Structure 1
Protein backbone atom coordinates (compact mmCIF):
# COMPACT_ATOMS: atom_id res chain seq x y z
CA UNK A 1 0.00 0.00 0.00
CA UNK A 2 2.82 2.44 0.83
CA UNK A 3 4.16 1.94 -2.70
CA UNK A 4 0.83 3.08 -4.14
CA UNK A 5 1.15 6.41 -2.35
CA UNK A 6 4.67 6.93 -3.67
CA UNK A 7 3.51 6.13 -7.19
CA UNK A 8 0.79 8.74 -6.80
CA UNK A 9 3.15 11.48 -5.58
CA UNK A 10 5.56 10.58 -8.40
CA UNK A 11 2.70 11.13 -10.83
CA UNK A 12 1.99 14.56 -9.32
CA UNK A 13 5.68 15.41 -9.59
CA UNK A 14 5.76 14.47 -13.27
CA UNK A 15 2.63 16.50 -14.02
CA UNK A 16 3.74 19.68 -12.23
CA UNK A 17 7.53 19.63 -12.41
CA UNK A 18 7.68 17.95 -15.80
CA UNK A 19 5.36 20.58 -17.27
CA UNK A 20 6.94 23.69 -15.74
CA UNK A 21 10.66 22.94 -15.38
CA UNK A 22 13.32 22.12 -18.00
CA UNK A 23 13.49 18.45 -18.93
CA UNK A 24 15.58 16.46 -16.47
CA UNK A 25 16.17 19.44 -14.15
CA UNK A 26 14.17 18.01 -11.26
CA UNK A 27 14.61 14.24 -11.66
CA UNK A 28 17.99 13.99 -9.82
CA UNK A 29 16.45 15.61 -6.72
CA UNK A 30 15.55 13.35 -3.77
CA UNK A 31 11.90 12.28 -3.75
CA UNK A 32 11.02 14.39 -0.68
CA UNK A 33 12.60 17.47 -2.27
CA UNK A 34 10.65 16.88 -5.47
CA UNK A 35 7.49 16.84 -3.37
CA UNK A 36 8.43 20.06 -1.59
CA UNK A 37 9.24 21.78 -4.90
CA UNK A 38 6.00 20.61 -6.51
CA UNK A 39 3.97 21.86 -3.53
CA UNK A 40 5.85 25.17 -3.57
CA UNK A 41 5.11 25.72 -7.27
CA UNK A 42 1.52 24.54 -6.88
CA UNK A 43 0.89 26.63 -3.78
CA UNK A 44 2.33 29.74 -5.41
CA UNK A 45 0.22 29.26 -8.53
CA UNK A 46 -2.96 28.70 -6.51
CA UNK A 47 -2.24 31.82 -4.43
CA UNK A 48 -1.61 34.15 -7.36
CA UNK A 49 -4.24 32.80 -9.76
CA UNK A 50 -7.09 32.72 -7.22
CA UNK A 51 -6.18 36.07 -5.63
CA UNK A 52 -5.56 37.93 -8.91
CA UNK A 53 -8.77 36.67 -10.52
CA UNK A 54 -10.87 37.48 -7.47
CA UNK A 55 -9.32 40.94 -7.04
CA UNK A 56 -9.88 41.67 -10.72
CA UNK A 57 -13.52 40.62 -10.43
CA UNK A 58 -14.50 42.48 -7.27
CA UNK A 59 -12.26 45.56 -7.51
CA UNK A 60 -12.50 46.24 -11.26
CA UNK A 61 -15.23 44.34 -13.09
CA UNK A 62 -17.72 44.79 -10.21
CA UNK A 63 -16.25 47.99 -8.77
CA UNK A 64 -18.52 49.55 -6.09
CA UNK A 65 -21.07 46.74 -6.43
CA UNK A 66 -19.92 44.48 -3.60
CA UNK A 67 -17.87 46.87 -1.49
CA UNK A 68 -17.65 50.70 -1.54
CA UNK A 69 -14.76 52.39 -3.33
CA UNK A 70 -13.19 53.57 -0.06
CA UNK A 71 -13.01 49.94 1.17
CA UNK A 72 -10.79 48.82 -1.72
CA UNK A 73 -7.20 48.32 -0.51
CA UNK A 74 -4.41 50.21 -2.22
CA UNK A 75 -2.02 48.51 -4.62
CA UNK A 76 0.73 49.17 -2.07
CA UNK A 77 -1.18 47.29 0.64
CA UNK A 78 -1.73 44.31 -1.65
CA UNK A 79 1.93 44.24 -2.71
CA UNK A 80 2.96 44.16 0.95
CA UNK A 81 0.60 41.25 1.52
CA UNK A 82 2.09 39.42 -1.44
CA UNK A 83 5.60 40.01 -0.05
CA UNK A 84 4.65 38.55 3.35
CA UNK A 85 2.96 35.52 1.75
CA UNK A 86 5.87 34.83 -0.60
CA UNK A 87 8.40 34.97 2.24
CA UNK A 88 6.33 32.38 4.09
CA UNK A 89 5.43 30.11 1.15
CA UNK A 90 8.66 28.01 1.17
CA UNK A 91 7.94 27.19 4.82
CA UNK A 92 4.20 26.60 4.40
CA UNK A 93 4.80 23.77 1.95
CA UNK A 94 7.09 21.92 4.36
CA UNK A 95 3.89 20.65 6.03
CA UNK A 96 2.41 18.85 2.99
CA UNK A 97 5.91 17.52 2.17
CA UNK A 98 6.11 16.01 5.67
CA UNK A 99 2.55 14.68 5.54
CA UNK A 100 3.26 13.00 2.20
CA UNK A 101 6.36 11.37 3.65
CA UNK A 102 4.39 10.03 6.63
CA UNK A 103 1.67 8.72 4.34
CA UNK A 104 4.22 7.03 2.06
CA UNK A 105 5.80 5.36 5.09
CA UNK A 106 2.44 3.92 6.14
CA UNK A 107 2.31 5.86 9.42
CA UNK A 108 -1.15 7.35 8.84
CA UNK A 109 -4.62 5.91 8.23
CA UNK A 110 -4.71 7.09 4.60
CA UNK A 111 -6.00 4.87 1.82
CA UNK A 112 -5.05 5.25 -1.84
CA UNK A 113 -8.26 4.37 -3.67
CA UNK A 114 -11.93 4.94 -2.85
CA UNK A 115 -12.49 1.36 -4.02
CA UNK A 116 -10.56 0.29 -0.90
CA UNK A 117 -13.43 1.45 1.36
CA UNK A 118 -16.44 2.22 -0.87
CA UNK A 119 -18.29 5.48 -1.41
CA UNK A 120 -20.48 5.43 1.76
CA UNK A 121 -17.40 4.99 3.98
CA UNK A 122 -15.51 7.60 1.96
CA UNK A 123 -18.18 10.26 2.55
CA UNK A 124 -18.62 9.31 6.22
CA UNK A 125 -14.88 9.54 6.82
CA UNK A 126 -14.65 12.79 4.86
CA UNK A 127 -17.32 14.33 7.10
CA UNK A 128 -15.46 13.13 10.20
CA UNK A 129 -12.15 14.42 8.84
CA UNK A 130 -13.63 17.87 8.11
CA UNK A 131 -15.18 17.99 11.60
CA UNK A 132 -11.80 17.24 13.19
CA UNK A 133 -10.17 19.88 10.97
CA UNK A 134 -12.84 22.45 11.84
CA UNK A 135 -12.46 21.78 15.57
CA UNK A 136 -8.66 21.80 15.38
CA UNK A 137 -8.37 25.01 13.36
CA UNK A 138 -10.87 26.79 15.60
CA UNK A 139 -8.87 26.06 18.73
CA UNK A 140 -5.50 26.59 17.09
CA UNK A 141 -6.66 29.99 15.84
CA UNK A 142 -8.22 30.90 19.17
CA UNK A 143 -5.07 30.00 21.11
CA UNK A 144 -3.02 32.11 18.71
CA UNK A 145 -5.07 35.00 20.09
CA UNK A 146 -5.38 33.92 23.73
CA UNK A 147 -1.74 32.97 24.35
CA UNK A 148 -0.08 36.37 24.32
CA UNK A 149 3.43 35.35 23.11
CA UNK A 150 1.86 33.42 20.21
CA UNK A 151 -0.15 36.47 19.23
CA UNK A 152 2.69 38.94 19.67
CA UNK A 153 5.37 37.01 17.81
CA UNK A 154 3.28 35.06 15.28
CA UNK A 155 -0.35 35.99 14.68
CA UNK A 156 0.03 39.77 14.93
CA UNK A 157 1.78 39.65 11.53
CA UNK A 158 -1.59 38.81 9.99
CA UNK A 159 -3.68 41.16 12.11
CA UNK A 160 -2.09 44.35 10.87
CA UNK A 161 -4.89 43.98 8.29
CA UNK A 162 -7.67 45.11 10.61
CA UNK A 163 -10.26 46.93 8.50
CA UNK A 164 -11.89 46.74 5.10
CA UNK A 165 -9.47 48.93 3.19
CA UNK A 166 -6.51 46.83 4.35
CA UNK A 167 -8.05 43.41 3.65
CA UNK A 168 -7.82 41.74 0.26
CA UNK A 169 -7.66 38.18 -1.12
CA UNK A 170 -3.85 38.53 -1.05
CA UNK A 171 -4.01 38.84 2.76
CA UNK A 172 -5.30 35.26 2.93
CA UNK A 173 -1.80 33.77 3.16
CA UNK A 174 0.00 36.78 4.66
CA UNK A 175 1.05 35.06 7.89
CA UNK A 176 4.17 34.42 9.86
CA UNK A 177 5.34 31.04 8.45
CA UNK A 178 4.91 29.17 11.73
CA UNK A 179 1.44 30.66 12.19
CA UNK A 180 0.33 29.39 8.79
CA UNK A 181 1.75 25.93 9.50
CA UNK A 182 0.05 25.75 12.91
CA UNK A 183 -3.35 26.61 11.46
CA UNK A 184 -3.01 23.96 8.74
CA UNK A 185 -1.67 21.33 11.16
CA UNK A 186 -5.13 19.85 11.98
CA UNK A 187 -5.30 18.60 8.38
CA UNK A 188 -2.27 16.40 9.09
CA UNK A 189 -3.24 15.43 12.64
CA UNK A 190 -6.59 14.17 11.34
CA UNK A 191 -4.78 11.61 9.16
CA UNK A 192 -3.81 9.73 12.32
CA UNK A 193 -7.39 9.71 13.63
CA UNK A 194 -9.57 8.79 10.66
CA UNK A 195 -9.12 6.78 7.46
CA UNK A 196 -8.82 9.41 4.77
CA UNK A 197 -8.45 9.32 1.01
CA UNK A 198 -4.94 10.61 0.25
CA UNK A 199 -5.82 12.50 -2.94
CA UNK A 200 -8.72 14.24 -1.19
CA UNK A 201 -6.40 15.27 1.64
CA UNK A 202 -3.95 16.83 -0.84
CA UNK A 203 -6.78 18.61 -2.66
CA UNK A 204 -8.17 20.02 0.59
CA UNK A 205 -4.78 21.47 1.51
CA UNK A 206 -4.77 23.45 -1.74
CA UNK A 207 -8.42 24.41 -1.34
CA UNK A 208 -7.27 26.07 1.90
CA UNK A 209 -5.38 28.60 -0.23
CA UNK A 210 -8.48 29.41 -2.30
CA UNK A 211 -10.71 29.57 0.77
CA UNK A 212 -8.43 31.94 2.68
CA UNK A 213 -8.39 34.27 -0.33
CA UNK A 214 -12.18 34.24 -0.37
CA UNK A 215 -12.73 35.04 3.32
CA UNK A 216 -10.49 38.11 3.17
CA UNK A 217 -12.42 39.88 0.41
CA UNK A 218 -14.88 41.60 2.83
CA UNK A 219 -17.95 40.37 0.89
CA UNK A 220 -20.65 38.79 3.04
CA UNK A 221 -21.98 35.87 1.01
CA UNK A 222 -24.89 35.10 3.38
CA UNK A 223 -24.78 31.34 2.86
CA UNK A 224 -25.64 29.77 6.23
CA UNK A 225 -23.79 28.08 7.96
CA UNK A 226 -20.67 29.06 5.99
CA UNK A 227 -18.07 31.15 7.84
CA UNK A 228 -17.62 33.57 4.96
CA UNK A 229 -15.87 36.89 4.57
CA UNK A 230 -18.54 38.85 6.43
CA UNK A 231 -17.82 36.84 9.57
CA UNK A 232 -14.06 36.90 9.05
CA UNK A 233 -13.99 40.67 8.54
CA UNK A 234 -15.53 40.98 12.02
CA UNK A 235 -12.74 38.77 13.32
CA UNK A 236 -10.19 41.22 11.93
CA UNK A 237 -11.92 44.20 13.55
CA UNK A 238 -12.80 42.78 17.00
CA UNK A 239 -10.02 40.15 17.39
CA UNK A 240 -12.29 38.14 19.74
CA UNK A 241 -14.95 36.60 17.48
CA UNK A 242 -15.40 34.22 14.56
CA UNK A 243 -12.31 32.05 14.85
CA UNK A 244 -13.91 29.31 12.76
CA UNK A 245 -12.82 28.08 9.39
CA UNK A 246 -15.44 26.76 6.97
CA UNK A 247 -18.53 27.00 9.17
CA UNK A 248 -19.92 28.94 12.13
CA UNK A 249 -20.54 25.80 14.22
CA UNK A 250 -17.49 25.97 16.49
CA UNK A 251 -17.99 29.65 17.25
CA UNK A 252 -21.66 28.96 17.97
CA UNK A 253 -20.79 26.07 20.28
CA UNK A 254 -18.06 27.92 22.19
CA UNK A 255 -19.73 31.33 22.43
CA UNK A 256 -17.54 33.40 20.10
CA UNK A 257 -19.94 33.86 17.17
CA UNK A 258 -20.79 37.38 16.00
CA UNK A 259 -23.20 37.69 13.09
CA UNK A 260 -22.45 40.34 10.41
CA UNK A 261 -26.10 41.22 9.83
CA UNK A 262 -26.84 41.58 13.53
CA UNK A 263 -23.67 43.66 13.82
CA UNK A 264 -24.85 46.02 11.08
CA UNK A 265 -28.33 46.28 12.64
CA UNK A 266 -26.84 47.38 15.96
CA UNK A 267 -24.78 50.08 14.24
CA UNK A 268 -27.95 51.45 12.61
Structure 2
Protein backbone atom coordinates (compact mmCIF):
# COMPACT_ATOMS: atom_id res chain seq x y z
CA UNK A 1 0.00 0.00 0.00
CA UNK A 2 1.76 3.16 -1.19
CA UNK A 3 -0.07 5.53 1.10
CA UNK A 4 2.76 8.08 1.00
CA UNK A 5 2.68 8.79 -2.76
CA UNK A 6 1.04 11.86 -4.20
CA UNK A 7 -1.13 9.79 -6.53
CA UNK A 8 -2.45 7.74 -3.62
CA UNK A 9 -3.15 10.81 -1.49
CA UNK A 10 -5.17 12.21 -4.38
CA UNK A 11 -7.68 9.41 -3.78
CA UNK A 12 -8.48 10.94 -0.37
CA UNK A 13 -8.76 14.41 -1.89
CA UNK A 14 -11.06 13.12 -4.62
CA UNK A 15 -13.29 11.43 -2.05
CA UNK A 16 -13.62 14.49 0.18
CA UNK A 17 -14.23 16.65 -2.90
CA UNK A 18 -17.09 14.30 -3.78
CA UNK A 19 -18.60 14.78 -0.32
CA UNK A 20 -18.20 18.55 -0.65
CA UNK A 21 -20.04 18.58 -3.98
CA UNK A 22 -22.90 16.49 -2.58
CA UNK A 23 -23.46 18.74 0.43
CA UNK A 24 -22.29 22.19 -0.63
CA UNK A 25 -23.14 21.88 -4.31
CA UNK A 26 -26.72 20.77 -3.64
CA UNK A 27 -27.62 22.66 -0.49
CA UNK A 28 -26.02 26.07 -1.00
CA UNK A 29 -27.49 28.62 -3.43
CA UNK A 30 -26.19 28.43 -6.98
CA UNK A 31 -24.44 31.78 -6.63
CA UNK A 32 -22.51 30.69 -3.50
CA UNK A 33 -18.85 30.44 -4.54
CA UNK A 34 -17.92 27.73 -2.03
CA UNK A 35 -15.34 26.27 -4.42
CA UNK A 36 -13.23 29.41 -4.02
CA UNK A 37 -12.86 28.75 -0.29
CA UNK A 38 -9.69 27.19 1.08
CA UNK A 39 -10.03 23.42 1.22
CA UNK A 40 -10.17 23.19 5.06
CA UNK A 41 -12.95 25.79 5.06
CA UNK A 42 -14.90 23.76 2.50
CA UNK A 43 -14.52 20.67 4.67
CA UNK A 44 -15.52 22.56 7.83
CA UNK A 45 -18.59 24.09 6.14
CA UNK A 46 -19.67 20.71 4.78
CA UNK A 47 -19.25 19.14 8.24
CA UNK A 48 -21.29 21.93 9.85
CA UNK A 49 -24.16 21.54 7.39
CA UNK A 50 -24.06 17.75 7.45
CA UNK A 51 -23.64 17.55 11.23
CA UNK A 52 -26.52 19.97 11.86
CA UNK A 53 -28.79 18.12 9.44
CA UNK A 54 -27.97 14.76 10.99
CA UNK A 55 -28.44 16.06 14.54
CA UNK A 56 -31.82 17.67 13.85
CA UNK A 57 -33.15 14.87 11.64
CA UNK A 58 -32.15 12.01 13.95
CA UNK A 59 -33.25 13.90 17.06
CA UNK A 60 -36.68 14.90 15.72
CA UNK A 61 -37.27 11.47 14.20
CA UNK A 62 -36.38 9.69 17.44
CA UNK A 63 -38.45 12.09 19.56
CA UNK A 64 -41.43 11.65 17.23
CA UNK A 65 -41.15 7.86 17.53
CA UNK A 66 -40.68 7.77 21.32
CA UNK A 67 -42.89 10.61 22.51
CA UNK A 68 -45.69 10.43 19.90
CA UNK A 69 -45.95 7.10 18.08
CA UNK A 70 -44.91 5.08 21.14
CA UNK A 71 -46.26 7.43 23.77
CA UNK A 72 -46.42 5.76 27.20
CA UNK A 73 -44.77 2.62 25.77
CA UNK A 74 -41.13 3.45 26.40
CA UNK A 75 -41.41 6.61 28.46
CA UNK A 76 -44.38 7.43 30.75
CA UNK A 77 -46.14 10.69 30.00
CA UNK A 78 -44.91 12.34 33.20
CA UNK A 79 -41.29 11.50 32.33
CA UNK A 80 -41.26 13.04 28.86
CA UNK A 81 -38.85 16.01 28.75
CA UNK A 82 -40.48 19.41 28.54
CA UNK A 83 -40.45 21.32 25.28
CA UNK A 84 -38.37 23.98 27.01
CA UNK A 85 -35.69 21.43 27.99
CA UNK A 86 -35.53 20.02 24.46
CA UNK A 87 -35.32 23.47 22.85
CA UNK A 88 -32.54 24.41 25.27
CA UNK A 89 -30.59 21.30 24.27
CA UNK A 90 -31.03 22.15 20.58
CA UNK A 91 -30.00 25.76 21.19
CA UNK A 92 -26.80 24.76 22.93
CA UNK A 93 -25.99 22.17 20.28
CA UNK A 94 -26.34 24.73 17.50
CA UNK A 95 -23.97 27.09 19.29
CA UNK A 96 -21.42 24.31 19.76
CA UNK A 97 -21.70 22.69 16.31
CA UNK A 98 -19.15 24.97 14.56
CA UNK A 99 -16.58 24.05 17.21
CA UNK A 100 -17.34 20.33 17.11
CA UNK A 101 -16.82 20.29 13.34
CA UNK A 102 -13.25 21.47 13.76
CA UNK A 103 -12.07 17.99 14.79
CA UNK A 104 -13.25 16.02 11.72
CA UNK A 105 -11.99 18.88 9.56
CA UNK A 106 -8.56 18.50 11.14
CA UNK A 107 -8.60 14.72 10.77
CA UNK A 108 -9.45 14.99 7.05
CA UNK A 109 -6.63 17.50 6.57
CA UNK A 110 -4.14 15.13 8.19
CA UNK A 111 -5.42 12.19 6.14
CA UNK A 112 -5.21 14.12 2.86
CA UNK A 113 -1.60 15.03 3.67
CA UNK A 114 -0.57 11.47 4.47
CA UNK A 115 0.08 11.98 8.18
CA UNK A 116 -2.10 9.08 9.31
CA UNK A 117 -2.23 5.35 8.55
CA UNK A 118 -5.47 5.61 6.56
CA UNK A 119 -5.96 3.68 3.36
CA UNK A 120 -8.43 4.57 0.64
CA UNK A 121 -9.54 1.22 -0.79
CA UNK A 122 -10.39 -2.00 1.02
CA UNK A 123 -8.74 -3.85 -1.86
CA UNK A 124 -5.41 -2.34 -0.78
CA UNK A 125 -5.37 -4.57 2.30
CA UNK A 126 -8.05 -7.19 1.60
CA UNK A 127 -11.25 -7.96 3.51
CA UNK A 128 -9.69 -10.13 6.26
CA UNK A 129 -7.14 -7.44 7.14
CA UNK A 130 -9.81 -4.73 6.87
CA UNK A 131 -12.02 -6.51 9.41
CA UNK A 132 -9.08 -7.06 11.77
CA UNK A 133 -8.03 -3.41 11.50
CA UNK A 134 -11.63 -2.26 12.02
CA UNK A 135 -11.94 -4.39 15.16
CA UNK A 136 -8.70 -2.94 16.55
CA UNK A 137 -9.80 0.59 15.63
CA UNK A 138 -13.14 0.17 17.42
CA UNK A 139 -11.44 -1.34 20.48
CA UNK A 140 -9.02 1.60 20.65
CA UNK A 141 -11.88 4.09 20.29
CA UNK A 142 -13.88 2.32 23.00
CA UNK A 143 -10.87 2.30 25.33
CA UNK A 144 -10.05 5.93 24.59
CA UNK A 145 -13.58 7.26 25.02
CA UNK A 146 -14.04 5.29 28.26
CA UNK A 147 -10.93 6.79 29.85
CA UNK A 148 -11.50 10.27 28.43
CA UNK A 149 -15.03 10.25 29.84
CA UNK A 150 -13.87 8.84 33.16
CA UNK A 151 -11.10 11.43 33.50
CA UNK A 152 -13.60 14.19 32.77
CA UNK A 153 -15.23 13.04 35.99
CA UNK A 154 -12.11 12.21 38.04
CA UNK A 155 -9.99 15.28 37.24
CA UNK A 156 -11.76 17.95 39.26
CA UNK A 157 -11.04 21.02 37.07
CA UNK A 158 -12.15 19.15 33.95
CA UNK A 159 -15.36 18.09 35.65
CA UNK A 160 -16.05 21.52 37.11
CA UNK A 161 -15.37 23.60 34.02
CA UNK A 162 -16.19 21.20 31.19
CA UNK A 163 -18.35 18.22 32.08
CA UNK A 164 -20.30 18.98 35.26
CA UNK A 165 -23.22 20.82 33.78
CA UNK A 166 -23.87 18.10 31.18
CA UNK A 167 -25.15 16.38 34.31
CA UNK A 168 -27.85 18.95 34.85
CA UNK A 169 -29.64 16.32 32.77
CA UNK A 170 -29.56 13.80 35.60
CA UNK A 171 -33.08 12.39 35.51
CA UNK A 172 -35.06 10.51 32.91
CA UNK A 173 -37.47 13.38 32.37
CA UNK A 174 -34.60 15.74 31.50
CA UNK A 175 -32.90 13.40 29.02
CA UNK A 176 -33.86 13.35 25.37
CA UNK A 177 -32.22 12.31 22.09
CA UNK A 178 -31.18 15.96 21.72
CA UNK A 179 -29.15 15.81 24.96
CA UNK A 180 -26.58 13.51 23.39
CA UNK A 181 -25.03 16.01 21.01
CA UNK A 182 -25.87 19.19 22.84
CA UNK A 183 -23.19 18.60 25.45
CA UNK A 184 -24.56 21.54 27.40
CA UNK A 185 -21.78 22.97 29.55
CA UNK A 186 -24.00 25.71 30.83
CA UNK A 187 -23.91 28.27 33.54
CA UNK A 188 -26.90 30.39 34.42
CA UNK A 189 -26.02 32.66 31.52
CA UNK A 190 -26.01 29.79 29.01
CA UNK A 191 -22.20 29.87 28.68
CA UNK A 192 -20.80 26.57 27.43
CA UNK A 193 -17.55 24.95 26.39
CA UNK A 194 -17.63 22.54 23.42
CA UNK A 195 -14.18 21.24 24.35
CA UNK A 196 -15.97 18.53 26.35
CA UNK A 197 -17.50 16.98 23.24
CA UNK A 198 -14.30 17.41 21.25
CA UNK A 199 -12.22 15.62 23.90
CA UNK A 200 -14.58 12.65 23.88
CA UNK A 201 -14.24 12.38 20.08
CA UNK A 202 -10.43 12.69 20.06
CA UNK A 203 -9.90 8.87 20.33
CA UNK A 204 -11.38 8.55 16.83
CA UNK A 205 -8.52 10.68 15.51
CA UNK A 206 -5.74 9.25 17.68
CA UNK A 207 -6.61 5.76 16.44
CA UNK A 208 -5.84 6.88 12.87
CA UNK A 209 -2.17 7.13 13.81
CA UNK A 210 -2.07 3.73 15.52
CA UNK A 211 -3.89 1.33 13.19
CA UNK A 212 -4.50 1.28 9.42
CA UNK A 213 -8.02 2.61 8.93
CA UNK A 214 -10.28 2.72 5.91
CA UNK A 215 -11.02 6.39 5.24
CA UNK A 216 -14.67 5.98 4.20
CA UNK A 217 -15.31 3.79 7.25
CA UNK A 218 -13.75 6.46 9.50
CA UNK A 219 -16.07 9.12 8.04
CA UNK A 220 -19.10 6.85 8.41
CA UNK A 221 -18.25 6.09 12.04
CA UNK A 222 -18.06 9.79 12.85
CA UNK A 223 -21.60 10.22 11.54
CA UNK A 224 -22.76 7.09 13.37
CA UNK A 225 -21.28 8.69 16.49
CA UNK A 226 -23.87 11.45 16.21
CA UNK A 227 -26.74 8.98 15.88
CA UNK A 228 -25.41 6.85 18.71
CA UNK A 229 -25.15 9.71 21.19
CA UNK A 230 -28.81 10.47 20.53
CA UNK A 231 -29.66 6.81 21.11
CA UNK A 232 -28.01 6.50 24.53
CA UNK A 233 -29.88 9.56 25.80
CA UNK A 234 -33.36 8.44 24.77
CA UNK A 235 -34.07 6.50 28.01
CA UNK A 236 -34.90 3.28 26.12
CA UNK A 237 -32.88 0.29 27.28
CA UNK A 238 -32.64 -2.16 24.38
CA UNK A 239 -31.14 -4.87 26.65
CA UNK A 240 -28.82 -6.27 23.98
CA UNK A 241 -25.60 -7.36 25.67
CA UNK A 242 -22.90 -6.00 25.44
CA UNK A 243 -24.38 -2.82 23.93
CA UNK A 244 -24.19 0.31 26.10
CA UNK A 245 -27.86 1.15 25.74
CA UNK A 246 -29.71 4.09 27.19
CA UNK A 247 -30.57 2.08 30.30
CA UNK A 248 -26.90 1.93 31.21
CA UNK A 249 -26.23 5.55 30.30
CA UNK A 250 -29.22 6.82 32.26
CA UNK A 251 -27.62 5.24 35.33
CA UNK A 252 -24.47 7.20 34.52
CA UNK A 253 -26.52 10.40 34.65
CA UNK A 254 -27.93 9.48 38.06
CA UNK A 255 -24.84 8.09 39.84
CA UNK A 256 -22.04 9.91 37.92
CA UNK A 257 -19.65 7.04 38.80
CA UNK A 258 -20.78 4.17 36.58
CA UNK A 259 -21.12 3.21 32.93
CA UNK A 260 -18.60 5.53 31.28
CA UNK A 261 -18.43 3.38 28.14
CA UNK A 262 -19.61 4.35 24.71
CA UNK A 263 -20.71 1.57 22.35
CA UNK A 264 -20.32 -1.36 24.75
CA UNK A 265 -20.13 -2.18 28.45
CA UNK A 266 -16.82 -4.06 28.09
CA UNK A 267 -14.56 -1.30 29.44
CA UNK A 268 -16.82 -0.72 32.45
CA UNK A 269 -16.82 -4.46 33.07
CA UNK A 270 -13.03 -4.66 32.80
CA UNK A 271 -12.36 -1.66 35.05
CA UNK A 272 -15.06 -2.24 37.65
CA UNK A 273 -17.47 0.61 36.90
CA UNK A 274 -20.34 -1.38 35.37
CA UNK A 275 -23.80 -1.08 36.89
CA UNK A 276 -26.58 -3.09 35.27
CA UNK A 277 -30.03 -1.49 34.86
CA UNK A 278 -31.81 -4.70 35.86
CA UNK A 279 -29.77 -4.96 39.07
CA UNK A 280 -30.57 -1.32 39.70
CA UNK A 281 -34.29 -1.95 39.31
CA UNK A 282 -34.23 -4.98 41.58
CA UNK A 283 -32.56 -2.94 44.32
CA UNK A 284 -35.29 -0.30 44.03
CA UNK A 285 -37.99 -2.96 44.39
CA UNK A 286 -36.30 -4.40 47.46
- Shorter-chain TM-score bucket reads over 0.9
* RMSD of aligned residue pairs (Cα, Å): 0.7
Which of residues 6, 9, 31 in structure 2 aligns to 1:2?
9
Is 1:162 equivalent to 2:170 in the alignment? yes
Is 1:255 equivalent to 2:263 in the alignment? no
State how far apart, in whole Å, the 2-side matches of 1:10 and 1:58 are. 37
Q: Map residues 119-138 of structure 1 onto 2, 5 A cutoff.
A: 119-138=127-146
Aligned to 1:23: 30
Deviation digits for residues 52-75 of structure 1 (CA, Å, limit 9, x no counterpart):
000000001110001111110000
TM-score normalized by the length of structure 1: 0.99
Which of residues 101, 124, 129 in structure 2 aligns to 1:93?
101
Aligned to 2:71: 63
What's the offset of the Cα at 1:2?
A: 1.2
What's the offset of the Cα at 1:23?
A: 2.2
What's the offset of the Cα at 1:38?
A: 0.3
Structure 1 stretch displaced more, 170-179 or 57-66: 170-179
State how far apart, in whole Å, the 2-side matches of 1:173 and 1:147 are. 22
Aligned to 1:238: 255
Deviation digits for residues 100-145 of structure 1 (CA, Å, limit 9, x no counterpart):
0000000000000111111111111000000000000000000000
Q: Map residues 117-266 of structure 1 onto 2, 5 A cutoff.
A: 117-175=125-183, 176-266=193-283
Q: Post-superposition, which runs of at least 4 consecutive aligned residues in structure 1 deviate over 2 A?
A: none
Gaps of 5+ in 2: 1-7, 184-192
What's the offset of the Cα at 1:20?
A: 0.1
Gaps of 5+ in 1: none
Deviation digits for residues 192-244 of structure 1 (CA, Å, limit 9, x no counterpart):
00000001001100111000000001111100000000000000000000000
What's the offset of the Cα at 1:24?
A: 4.9
State how far apart, in whole Å, the 1-side matches of 2:29 and 2:68 are. 36
Aligned to 2:190: none
What's the offset of the Cα at 1:157?
A: 2.8
Aligned to 2:46: 38
